[in-house]
Amino acid sequence: MLWRGDQMDSAVGRALPTGFATLDAQLPGGGWPRRALTELLLPHPGVGEIRLLGPCLTAIQQQGRLVMLFDPPAKLSAQALAQLGFDVAQLLVVHTRARVIPGSDSLWAFEQALKSGHVGGVLAWLPARLRADRLRRLQLAAQAHDGPAFVLRERAAQQRPTAAPLRLALCAGGADRLELKILKRRGPPLASPIVLTLPPVLSDALREQAWRRQRDTAQPAPQVVEHHAHEPSQVGSMTRSSRVEAMPLPAATFISLV
Amino acid sequence: MLWISLHLPRLSFESWLAVLPPEQREQPAALMGARDVLMCNPAAQRLGVRPGLQRVTALALAPQLQLGRIDAARDRQVLTSVAHVALAFTPAVCWAETSGPAAAPSTVLLQVQASLRYFGGLTPLLQRLRAALAPLNCTLQFASAPTAQGAAVLACCAGNGSDELHATDLPQLEGLLGAAPLWLIGTGRAQWAVLDSMGLGTFGALRRLPRPALQRRFGPALLDELDTVLGMRCEPPPAWITLPETFEVRIELQTRADTTDQLLHGAQLLIEPLLAWARAQQARVRRYTLFMHHERHRRQGEEVPVATELSIALAEASCDAAHLSLLLRERLAHLSLPAPTLELRLHCADVVRGSPHSAELFASARGEREGLVRLIERLQARLGAGQVQQLRPMADHRPECDAAFHAVSADAVGSASRQTGRRPSPARPAVPEPERSTAQRPVWLLDEPQRLAERQSRPLLDGQPLQLLCGPERIEAGWWDAQLAGRDYFIAQTPDGALVWLYRARLPLSVAEDAQGWFVHGRFG
């Protein structure tokens, strides 16, 4: 065993930029957290979650690290992934529920990937109605994982507490638009949702037309909140509430998470 | 010249005890000779069983006593694995001569004069030797001397609870052997009765007598052997132990094994000798095969083969006992045996020579690659090789055929990440601008396109009318393999804002009745 004295450790502990400035400003650390689970709640697959996570995961792949997907809900299209910038050679898909193995559960593979610490980023679709202690165990395993760990669950899990330090609820806010509500984060609660413009599928003209049509016909479009860029490089700015120009806290003691 | 000797005083007993299941090793157990007890473990000693007792007496004292027999082949295998461990330290290893052709050797001799400088002295060498022999779980006695026979005798007489005997030169050897009993050498044992009755039981006693008288009384053989031990006579070159080209060892279990734990326990006894053999050649194991033999009387009349074979191949050759046994455990969990097995055999002919990469203190690309290879091996061992997949884009316009999933091979992933390394690739932007030459494709594709109902000529998804936004994109391909797809694809929006990808047949009248109408094929994730 030989250790060379000129080896340097790579800096760990920084959050990964999400690729959306308005979201970076609202997340503690200025991006997706490392070594912790990030929970995303979706009504159904296909609201724009892959385009939301795309900038972060493609950046990880460009560093030469592997991205693993666990139990994706449908088949993936290689051309669509290539259009988003993914490198399919650095992407692995693991199906854990194809065969029932006595004595083990379907989250074993996800836990092994987190504990190994060699995977760049993981994305897992968890089964419905997961017990809280299983999620707690995954959160503990994620501390060994140098990178973001995203778990995607159904919307109904919102009613139950979670061990993940960051919890977001996603829903589609129009064509190429994603509406994000931060349900739980390490910092003051955010009352109003964030609307992000995703990497577009439609052309600009068609997108405008679709937004206009939706505004006219359906319920009023969600309020577009623009946050000025606070200094996103300041870590821990979330914990000092005096720095945040957000909405004043509601008067009630209990914060409603809906 | 410096010789180290390794003596195994309880070789037969420990080799039998290792074959028992772990929970039975703590129970009273004794090794039987022809009619009496030869050795017993502390649990039996607490009940009063002693070496030398008759069999019936021992069973009366301890009714639940487990009895075992000496098996020369099993002892020989344990001794061979000790010799293989020793071969990693010096190429000159041999057995100690035994008193007769029937008796089995129980001492291994190493000639280490040439290795002292590399290991930095005798004490560090002995420390490393002890550490390397620890996984074999044998009681060992060490001794060292300038002559081979002297070292062998010292190791045997150091066993009465005293410290190890190490002699650095011949006068010290003579002093240490002064009180050693004469039945430790061959001719001494043959004439032991006569010597003992004369009061000449030790080496020192014999040395004090005049040599011509001893030669007349006992013959020249005794004096020759004494001189060889004390270094005054040249010893003939011994037969050095050589490593076999392939590794083959078999073990017979005490009870029939048909669960994973029992099989794993039996296989563990074979993995340690395998690693000792591999390390002796400075090599790592790449592939080995475990044969589980079934008994003959269970095979009659049924479709039960002679042996069930389990072959384990590693993507990255390794000498790590923990990793090998983990992989074996995962593979054994999936295996179903047609009948219980009593005999296990391990065969290995595939090793990789050369030293492994150095371990690193901080994570680097190569360490990460090796860790990834091991992770993928573990996942494939537990979930099945086909459950860990990689995408390969295919040149096909039909959306359902544009990617093929194939089972990833662990070393392919390793080489891919080795090539890209940790450098950021400079020429690729993070998110490409949407190319207008090919339209955007959805990330999620349904396995089977789902038919949609229609109301007022608008397609309905889950009861909600869809608004068509963009299209049509005409895809017509697949005339060469009878799955002709002529479709017009549209992007539509659900009332809550999600985008879906629909299609309908380009020529509705040319397709079957159930292929007409709207189908949803994907969602934009």
Residue B63 DSSP symbol = T
pLDDT digits (tens, 9 = 90+) for A83-108: 889 998 889 999 887 766 655 567 88
pLDDT at B99 over 50: yes
Nearest residue to A52 (alpha-carbon basis) of A119, A140, A152? A152
Q: Which of B382, B443, B493 sits opposite A104 (nearest CB)?
A: B382
CB environment B170-196: b (16+ within 10 A), e (fewer): eeebbebbeebbbbbbbbbbbbeeebe
Query: Region A53-75: what's the mean pLDDT?
Result: 92
Local structure of B332: helix, strand or coil: helix
Nearest to B375 among A113, A175, A210 (CB): A113
- B25-33: long-range contacts at Cβ-Cβ below 8 A with a sequence spacing of 24 or more? B27/B64, B27/B66, B28/B62, B28/B64, B28/B65, B28/B66, B29/B65, B29/B66, B29/B67, B29/B68, B30/B58, B30/B65, B30/B66, B30/B67, B30/B68, B31/B67, B31/B68, B31/B69, B31/B70, B32/B67, B32/B68, B32/B69, B33/B70
Place of tokens 């529920």: A97
Highest-confidence range of A1-10, A52-61, B394-403, by mean pLDDT?
A52-61
- Give the confidence band of B298 by pLDDT, cuts at 50, 70, 90: low
CB contact under 8 A, A79 and B423: no
Q: Across the beta sheet with B247-257, what order do the strands follow?
A: B247-257, B341-353, B283-294, B307-318
- Domain edges within chain A: 21-228
**Pairing of the two strands A149-154 and A75-76:** unpaired
Beta bridge partners of B293: B307, B343
pLDDT band, very low/low/confident/very high, at B271 (cuts 50, 70, 90)? very high
Taking the CB of residue B471, how many other CB atoms lie within 10 A of it?
16
Burial (CB < 10 A; 0-12, 13-18, 19+), residue A219, is exposed
pLDDT digits (tens, 9 = 90+) for A139-169: 999 998 889 999 999 998 888 888 999 999 9
Segment 134-193 of chain A within 8 Å of chain B by CB: 146, 171-177, 179
Contacting residues of B for A48, CB less than 8 Å apart: 498, 524-525
State how far the Cα of A58 lies from the Cα of A81, in Å rounded to an integer: 10
Residue of A54, A66, A76 lying closest to B372 (CB–CB): A66
pLDDT of residue A167: 92
Tell me the CA distances in angstroms from B158 to A101, B83, B125, B143, one per residue in order: 53, 20, 19, 8
A10-60 pLDDT, tens digit per residue, is 434 578 899 899 998 888 888 899 999 999 999 988 888 999 999 999 999
| Pairing assessment for the beta strands A177-184 and B518-523 based on DSSP bridges | unpaired
pLDDT of residue B299: 66
pLDDT digits (tens, 9 = 90+) for A208-249: 888 888 777 755 545 444 443 343 444 444 444 344 444 444
Tell me whether B426 touches chain A (CB under 8 Å).
no
Residue B372 touches chain A, beta carbons under 8 Å: yes
Closest Cα to residue B291, out of B252, B346, B362? B346
* A112 in reach of chain B (CB within 8 A): yes
Q: Are strands A91-94 and B388-393 parallel, antiparallel or unpaired?
A: antiparallel
Structure tokens at B393: 């884009």
Chain B residues whose CB is inside 8 A of the A96 CB are: 383, 387
Query: 0.80 cut: is pTM over it?
Result: no
The C-alpha angle A77, A80, A86, rounded to 5 degrees, equals 100
Interface residue B117 vs chain A (CB under 8 A): no
Q: What is the pLDDT of residues B470-523, one digit of tens each?
A: 878 888 887 887 777 788 888 888 888 888 999 888 877 777 777 788 889 988
For the domain A21-228, what is the CATH superfamily, name and number? P-loop containing nucleotide triphosphate hydrolases (3.40.50.300)
Residues 471-510 of chain B with CB under 8 A from chain A are 491, 493-500
* Residues whose CB is less than 8 angstroms from the CB of residue B185 and which lie 6 or more positions away in sequence, other chains included: B99, B149, B153, B225, B226, B229
Can you say how many angstroms the Cα of residue B189 is from the centroid of all Cα atoms in its chain? Answer: 41
Q: Are A57 and A123 in contact (CB under 8 A)?
A: yes
Whole-angstrom CA distances from B344 to B58, B90, B306 are 32, 31, 12
Query: What is residue B129's three-state secondary structure?
Result: helix
**Residues of chain B numbered 280-339 and touching chain A (CB < 8 Å):** 333-334
CB contact under 8 A, B431 and A19: yes
